[in-house]
Amino acid sequence: MIGSILGSIIIGGFAGFIAEKLMKSEMGLIANILLGIAGGLIAGWLLPLAGIGFHGLIGSLIGATAGACLLIFIARLIKK
């Protein structure tokens, strides 16, 4: 349990950081972690519906990054 929570935080941090760089946005460490975790949850829900499955550490990182990028995109739409 603790290992999976810690793993989610670490993967979420990396995913949020990568999404921040890809989407050219400025966020802090905590926002990156939260964005990456939320992105992972969204990707874990949406991607299987589309028939796409990611497995393992790299797959989780890719899925969480894609979800975080989607969240940044949606946030930018809402701000306008």
Model pLDDT for residues 11-55, shown as the tens digit of each residue:
888 888 898 899 888 877 888 788 888 888 888 787 778 887 777
Domain boundaries, the chain: 2-79
What confidence tens digit (pLDDT) does each residue in 43-60 have? 878 777 888 777 788 888
Average pLDDT, the chain: 82
Residue 1: pLDDT band (50, 70, 90) is low
- Asked if pLDDT for residue 79 goes beyond 60, the answer is yes
DSSP assignment string, 8-64? HHHHHHHHHHHHHHHTT----HHHHHHHHHHHHHHHHHHHHHTT----HHHHHHHHH
pTM above 0.85, yes or no: no
Judge contact between 44 and 52, C-beta under 8 A. Answer: no
